Amino acid sequence: MNLLIVGSVATDTIETPFGKVENALGGSATYASVASSYFARPAIVGVVGNDFDKRHINLLKRRGIDLEGLQIDKSGKTFHWSGYYEGDMNQAHTTTTHLNVFESFKPQIPESYRRAPYILLGNIHPGLQLDVLAQVRGHHLTLCDTMNFWISSEPRLLERVFRRVDIVCINDGEARQFCGTDSLPQAARELLKFGPRRVIIKKGAHGVLLFGKKSFFALPAIPLKTVKDPTGAGDSFAGGAIGYLAKSGKTGEAAFRRAMVAGTVMASFCVQDFSLKKTSRLTKSMINKRAAMLIESTKIPNFRI
Amino acid sequence: MNLLIVGSVATDTIETPFGKVENALGGSATYASVASSYFARPAIVGVVGNDFDKRHINLLKRRGIDLEGLQIDKSGKTFHWSGYYEGDMNQAHTTTTHLNVFESFKPQIPESYRRAPYILLGNIHPGLQLDVLAQVRGHHLTLCDTMNFWISSEPRLLERVFRRVDIVCINDGEARQFCGTDSLPQAARELLKFGPRRVIIKKGAHGVLLFGKKSFFALPAIPLKTVKDPTGAGDSFAGGAIGYLAKSGKTGEAAFRRAMVAGTVMASFCVQDFSLKKTSRLTKSMINKRAAMLIESTKIPNFRI
């Protein structure tokens, strides 16, 4: 393994205008690890319950994901989220959230993961994100994700996470909420003040912005005729992005821009089918082809008047 | 002149978190013609009333805009819009709209404009847009803009406009509304069925999408620390884009992509100050510099895994 991913492993019941799935594989660590598996050698730290389907384990294993750190808590059921999408598909509506065994989740990083050169802190309590950082050693590149819930309830803890990581990956609404400004460039500048090298602001169907201390990159999303299920798009993005960084071993602007392409491509595959149906069955050639399409559709000829 | 622009000429009273202007120069034809004047030789067809300030005329003349087609209707006052912005600045709130002499505006295209090689049909009643097309002759490239009001009230007339023009330029909400779909690629495909060569979907701060029958281009907007006054951004975009096409004389994909850059740059200058304060005082060097910044911030290195 060269990429440690900590986050939720869940089963989801999802309804969209394109259909419905019940107890499908989900969770931030799951989406991120599958997306990253085309670039890196990911390992998951998370927890599942006594009902977790063997087929889900097999899917993760087929993608070469190291599961030594996946705790199986026989005392209860797996985290289950149930929700639906309608209209413009950018907004998930939650029907029920059963945290189950995830409620008492304490990340235990196996000894063999503690020197992981790349770390993705998925969307969990910022206190747990800090716990993970306290358990790892050596030089590593760390990316953290979060959500509006922690911004409201634990802003000070989250700030401590932002001070410790190399990359803050956050969506536009969350960046505005955390920084109390409507301007995304201003929000990014404030987030950079905590010390990360890069701030990534995800804008869903509008693409992604990458801010460095002295650099800026904007990448549109890939326009899709149909978005079947947006669940996991942000996690797939983060997994693809840090997976690419782990593969490249570089941290310059070019590597980060390529990582944004990798993330965008993985998110675009993710939303084209329910759960991990599409993302788990890709080939390198499919990924290269879609990346080439994205690059072609954003290429600007020289301009001078 | 080589670019005919038909639309509104107005005075605006605008309040934003950054200040307030009263009876400032505004209107779709005004913004578009000033933006286009850095690339082309525009002429306006529009109407103003007995109160139209000589300084506004002088501003337009200084930008080299041909005003032979600007009717002065002494029977009333100039179209006046009053509104404000707050929060994320993407949404204008109208306080009052006084159409005044614009209410009975009938575009009269002067003989010397009738063979204009480029035509921008600004946001006016689609019946008037068709009137303009009936008055012009020869080969020309036509771009039309519109608004949600005409989509609701005159969808069939608007459809006839879309069948007659080369470029449909519309914002994302309007495209969704007209086509009855949430998917912008789907909306673009439906609009292309009416026959235009290109459909441009403007997404405000999220940039612009350019669809051809077999081509696609996505360009992010330029991130600005402060947006002082968003009024006229869409018109400045359209003016910059068709102005660039008029300058280049080309209609291939590269020319259209450069036109999107020109439009994006002009819109970014427009919103940085009230009314036409900034857009009317640019230099070619400022435009080239900002275009270079935009191109640099969207450049993607080769990608292959």
Cβ distance of B298 and A203 shorter than 8 Å: no
How far is the C-alpha of A305 from the C-alpha of A153, rounded, in Å? 51
pLDDT at A95 over 90: yes
Strands A79-84 and B208-212, sheet pairing: unpaired
Mean pLDDT of A276-283: 97
pLDDT at A90 over 90: no
Per residue in A144-176, pLDDT (tens digit) is: 999 989 999 999 999 999 999 999 999 999 999
Mean pLDDT of B37-61: 97
Mean pLDDT of B218-225: 92
Cβ distance of A288 and B300 shorter than 8 Å: no
Which residue type sits at A256?
Answer: F
Q: What angle do CA B241, B246, B248 make, to 5 degrees?
A: 95
pLDDT at B138 over 90: no
Backbone dihedral region for residue A180 (phi beyond 0: left; psi -120 to 50: alpha; all else: beta): left
- This model of the complex carries an ipTM of 0.90
Confidence of residue B163 (pLDDT cuts 50, 70, 90): very high
Which residue type sits at B154?
Answer: E
Which residue of chain B comes nearest to A223, CA vs CA? B185
Cβ distance of A257 and B301 shorter than 8 Å: yes
pLDDT at B88 over 90: no
CA atoms within 13 A on the CB side of B244: 27
Helix (H/G/I), strand (E/B), else coil: B116: coil
Mean pLDDT of A33-40: 98
Per residue in A186-217, pLDDT (tens digit) is: 999 999 999 999 999 999 999 999 999 999 99
Confidence of residue B140 (pLDDT cuts 50, 70, 90): confident
Residue B163, classified by CB atoms within 10 Å of its CB into exposed (0-12), middle (13-18) or buried (19+), is exposed
Which residue of chain A comes nearest to B255, CA vs CA? A301
Helix (H/G/I), strand (E/B), else coil: A146: coil
Mean pLDDT of A119-125: 95
Per-residue tokens: A119 = 């770390």
Per-residue tokens: A269 = 């595959």
Residue A98, classified by CB atoms within 10 Å of its CB into exposed (0-12), middle (13-18) or buried (19+), is middle
pLDDT at B87 over 80: no
**Chain B residues with beta carbon closer than 8 angstroms to that of A219:** 220, 298, 300
Q: What is the pLDDT of residue A65?
A: 98
Cβ distance of B295 and A303 shorter than 8 Å: yes
Mean pLDDT of B116-144: 95
> Which DSSP state fits B66?
B
**Chain A residues with beta carbon closer than 8 angstroms to that of B290:** none
How big is chain B by its Cα radius of gyration, in Å? Answer: 18
How far is the C-alpha of B195 from the C-alpha of A137, rounded, in Å? 62
Q: What is the pLDDT of residue A225?
A: 84
The percentage of residues in chain B with a pLDDT greater than 70, rounded to a whole number, is 100
Per residue in B227-263, pLDDT (tens digit) is: 999 999 999 999 999 999 999 999 999 999 999 999 9
Mean pLDDT of chain A: 95
Helix (H/G/I), strand (E/B), else coil: A242: helix
Strand ranges for chain A from DSSP E = 3-6, 10-16, 19-26, 42-48, 70-72, 79-84, 93-98, 118-121, 141-144, 167-171, 198-202, 208-212, 216-219
Q: Where is average pLDDT lowest: A124-128, B27-31, B221-225, B268-272?
A: B221-225
Q: What is the pLDDT of residue B226?
A: 86
Q: Which residue has the higher pLDDT, A182 or A202?
A: A202
- Residue from the list A206, A254, A257 with its beta carbon closest to the beta carbon of B203: A206
Which residue of chain A comes nearest to B173, CA vs CA? A88
The percentage of residues in chain B with a pLDDT greater than 90, rounded to a whole number, is 93
Cβ distance of B182 and A295 shorter than 8 Å: no
Residue A10's CB: how many other CB atoms inside 10 A? 28
Mean pLDDT of chain B: 95
How far is the C-alpha of B233 from the C-alpha of B270, rounded, in Å? 6
Q: What is the pTM of this model?
A: 0.94
Mutate to test the interface with A, among B300, B302, B304 (most CBs of A within 10 A): B300
pLDDT at A297 over 80: yes
Which residue of chain A comes nearest to B204, CA vs CA? A206
Per residue in B258-290, pLDDT (tens digit) is: 999 999 999 999 999 999 999 999 999 999 999
Q: What is the pLDDT of residue A139?
A: 80
Mutate to test the interface with B, among A269, A300, A302 (most CBs of B within 10 A): A300
